[in-house]
Structure 1
């Protein structure tokens, strides 16, 4: 079964180039390319789309707004493709339900792997983008701004390491507990906060805000 994808970007050169690249991989089927978020939303509501690649800056409806509505109204998973010029949109896109935030200058193989990862239920956040979030918040290192009374000491430890960009495997090595146990802790954190994935946990840990 092929992963059904649409591409939304107001730059026709970029979206058509991306379509050509993705069509070279047998696991993808590019259903459509569109000019803005409004067109992306309309298409996702009428068709079964697995992953929507969304530019941030688009006319009529930008990628951040489209992410929110696509997440609320369809089963499509939004994946933001961006440039460093879009830093101010990162937090809003993640809060709105983006399943990934990826730079356009990545190699085709990395974009392919990101789409597959998002399709399989994972969240893709490039470390360099997470660093941008921290820089925008004025944080030199992760510092908790959450209500610590809501969480156990171990949950706070795990949230801190997630905010540093560590994977479950890396956290496992550092805390000497199994990856399965870490997954259970993360589920508990998500349940207490109402968040959906680990990237939102990182942002919550840094900002103390869930929305």
Structure 2
């Protein structure tokens, strides 16, 4: 039954194909399909174009807003200001550090109860005079390698050394032997170092304090 219907459809198509209207209708349908497909592609391209333009316009609109522009300019200004402040602070600190001092106290590894405090002094500029003080429970000896020492005195709990004509960028060393009042190794021994020197030609003194603890 189905084969008969199929054959009948084929016969109908053959019969209809003999008519000029059949081919006109077929060509119109094909043309309509081509136009429809072209229109669909054009519509998709237009939609993509307008969507891209909308996104770009939205981004530009955000950046063009006065409050956004003001915020960006303010942020850049603050970053530049912070950078200038940091640079100025670093420059100021470098100007203030006109002498490098290292100080520490410790016991030697020979098992004795002796304690030594070592000081390294490196001036950045030439100094007319330098005054070195050490305070501790008991000071046994004090020695510095200054070339022009004009004063060297030791008491029970302090030692003082004064030197003149200190050369810039030269390393000077001081060694102090100290001890605790109880003379026992179990007690911590504290030492305080004070170094004073003139800052300018008016002999304005600046003093630096360093502390150390030896166990």
Q: Same fold (TM over 0.5)?
A: no
Q: Which protein is richer in strand relative to its size?
A: 2
TM-score normalised by length of structure 1: 0.21
Kindly indicate whether structure 1 or structure 2 has the higher relative contact order, using CA contacts under 8 Å at least 6 residues apart: 2
Q: Which protein is richer in helix relative to its size?
A: 1
> Rg larger in 1 or in 2?
2
TM-score normalised by length of structure 2: 0.21
